[in-house]
Amino acid sequence: MKRMTLRQTAAVGVAFAAALAAPANAQEEPRRGGTLVVARPADVNLWDPKYTNDNASLWAQHQVFANLIQNSADGLELRPSLAESWEISEDSTTYTFNLRQDASFCNGDPITAEDVKFSFDRATEADSNVSWQFPANPVVTVIDDHTVQIDIDRPNVAFVSYLTLWGSHILSKDYAEEVGPEGLAAAPMGSGAFCLEDWQKGQVAILTPNPGYWDPERPYVDRVEMRVVQDDNARILQLRTGEVDVALLVPFSQAASLANAPGVEATMVTIYGTAAIVPNIRNVPELSDVKVRQAISYAVDREAMIDAILLGNGEPAESPFYGPGILYHTDEFATGFDLERAKQLMAESSAPDGFEVDLTIPSGDEMAQQTAVILNDQLGEIGIQVNVMPVEAGTWWSMWSSGEFEMVYKLGTNDVIDPAMNIPFDFWPKDIGGSDSAFSGYANERIIEISVAAEGAQDPALREELYTELQQIAMEEVPQLYLFHPTIIYGTRDNVENFAVFPTKLHRFWEVWLSE
């Protein structure tokens, strides 16, 4: 995480750049107690990791479920969580995890290897939305109550990184079998730092500490209130007045006023993420034409988008990878703004006269809304009319994951710096553990072949060669319209200590305390 300097493209940008705070230094001694009140722009859709792929849900689930291992804040290191240690075979096909013996679910039941096996087996079932997070057909074996072994059918040097994702959250086998999918969606049995005490859908979720959490020092607060405040102005006003302690996803249009408000700190972080548009190649015949997709890519002025939406604080997407900080990223195949080339490609395409297309975005997301409006203006230059369709976040996800869309806005993030993490989701079909290429219907056998080989390559030079070819194909075929890598802003009251949004966009309430 780092402080960024805004380009001086507007007066508000100058003011904010001068006032923006770097992350505050935490007190040396954490203080216990109190209620942390957080304003979020969207509610949890459901609490069951198996069916989750939206950020609002997975960020909340991250507070109540634990993984075997966890990432460092910058995504560069893997650290113990429910597993206190692990071993990996020389060929990267066998992983043995030694579980903590003092970790319990929120109801006091001990967390065992049976729960791990149940959670992973369930997450890889045919109807799972997170099966893409379990490549190479993992087979989970219970060695004893506190030892579990995972065998995969081909080498995968990135496999252990996948186990930090929400799909590998550990659930209670007994509880899941008792309440079924509907019960899990509404009321999780936590294995992590917090328990869900109450959930008033669309309004607030209340978290309290899990007495059986493996780290006896955390959490520090007695209670977390995650309030749903969709309206940006209301969210920022509540932070300024002290009604809430943290406001997530502060829009850039609000940044300057927030940064200058007394008692408030505004922090900017560059994320490992990409704002992109996913075309439905199955539902829209024009979008199945690669020349149309190429024309769209050339017609988009990414720098103009960054200046207008982020006040210049972002980078144009020049690869399908989620930012220059991701391993093996290259800008060698970037598509620049070239309107004449875009018009030529449209003239050569199956839709020379243009067409209309619906773009589904999550309502209340200012970045998505502004991106959609600008995209409509820019694509209008090549005869494409974009009808912006804002829908509630849960509906947006439902439409996207079921394939009931024409184009959809996506802000994807990497939770680790290895590109292997998101490739199954973005490029693989469901029958090999993917998500039908982000539910778009796109398929390229060479990309699948490359990515599978890269996962098992022990030699970094070979991985780089393979991933370079993958990026070349993706930039030529435009399975998604890669737009920009944004920075994001969040706000905190000055009594909030040790809160941070990571470059992965994750945040950990159990690390936070409130000063006097």
Query: Cβ of 300: how many Cβ atoms within 10 Å?
Result: 26
Check whether 26 has a pLDDT greater than 50: no
**What is the three-class DSSP state of 487?**
strand
Q: Which residues pair with residue 86 across a beta bridge?
A: 97
Check whether 410 has a pLDDT greater than 50: yes
Check whether 500 has a pLDDT greater than 90: yes
Check whether 4 has a pLDDT greater than 60: no
Check whether 458 has a pLDDT greater than 90: no
Contact predicate 94/149, CB 8 Å: yes
Contact predicate 177/474, CB 8 Å: no
Q: Please report, in angstroms and rounded to a whole number, the separation of the first and last CA atoms in the chain.
A: 26
Predicted local distance difference test score (pLDDT) of residue 105:
98
Q: State how far the Cα of 337 lies from the Cα of 315, in Å rounded to an integer.
A: 14
Q: What is the DSSP string of 464-486?
A: HHHHHHHHHHHHHH-SSEEEEEE
Q: State how far the Cα of 22 lies from the Cα of 178, in Å rounded to an integer.
A: 47
Predicted local distance difference test score (pLDDT) of residue 260:
80
What's the predicted TM-score (pTM) here?
0.81
Q: Is 293 exposed, middle or buried (0-12, 13-18, 19+ CB in 10 A)?
A: buried
Q: What pLDDT digit, counting tens, does each position of 204-226 carry?
A: 999 999 999 999 999 999 999 99
Contacts 24+ apart (CB under 8 A), 334-337: 334/475, 335/294, 335/297, 335/298, 335/475, 335/478, 336/298, 337/298, 337/299, 337/300, 337/301, 337/302, 337/303, 337/304
Among 449, 481, 444, 442, CA closest to 466: 449
Q: State how far the Cα of 293 lies from the Cα of 315, in Å rounded to an integer.
A: 21
What's the CA angle centered on 103, arms 100 and 105, to 5 degrees? 145
How many CA atoms lie within 13 Å of 515's alpha carbon, on the beta-carbon side?
15
CATH topology for 11-45+185-267+504-514 is: D-Maltodextrin-Binding Protein; domain 2 (3.40.190)
| % of the chain residues with pLDDT over 90 | 76
Mean pLDDT of 495-512: 94
Query: Model confidence at 3, in pLDDT bands (50, 70, 90)?
Result: very low
Check whether 234 has a pLDDT greater than 70: yes
Q: What pLDDT digit, counting tens, does each position of 185-204 carry?
A: 999 999 999 999 999 999 99
The first and second tokens of residue 439, run together, are 């539910």
In the chain, where are the structural domains located?
A: 11-45+185-267+504-514, 49-180, 273-486
Superfamily in which the 273-486 domain is placed by CATH: Dipeptide-binding Protein; Domain 3 (3.10.105.10)
Predicted local distance difference test score (pLDDT) of residue 255:
80
Q: What pLDDT digit, counting tens, does each position of 92-132 carry?
A: 899 999 999 999 999 999 999 999 999 999 999 999 999 98
Among the residue ranges 3-12, 221-230, 246-255, the one predicted with the least confidence is: 3-12
How many CA atoms lie within 13 Å of 59's alpha carbon, on the beta-carbon side?
22
Q: What pLDDT digit, counting tens, does each position of 346-390 carry?
A: 999 999 999 999 999 999 888 999 999 999 999 999 999 999 999
Query: Cβ of 32: how many Cβ atoms within 10 Å?
Result: 13
Check whether 411 has a pLDDT greater than 60: yes
Q: Convert 322-342 into a string of H (helix), E (strand) and C (coil).
A: CCCCCCCCCCCCCCCCCHHHH
Q: Do 11-45+185-267+504-514 and 273-486 share a fold?
A: no
Q: Which CATH architecture has domain 49-180?
A: Alpha-Beta Complex (3.90)
Check whether 446 has a pLDDT greater than 50: yes
Q: What pLDDT digit, counting tens, does each position of 128-186 carry?
A: 999 988 988 899 999 999 999 999 998 888 899 889 999 999 999 999 999 999 999 99
Query: Cβ of 410: how many Cβ atoms within 10 Å?
Result: 23
Q: State how far the Cα of 243 lies from the Cα of 257, in Å rounded to an integer.
A: 17
The first and second tokens of residue 381, run together, are 């230059």
Q: Which residues pair with residue 278 across a beta bridge?
A: 408
Q: What pLDDT digit, counting tens, does each position of 276-334 carry?
A: 999 999 999 999 999 999 999 999 999 999 999 998 989 999 999 999 989 999 999 99
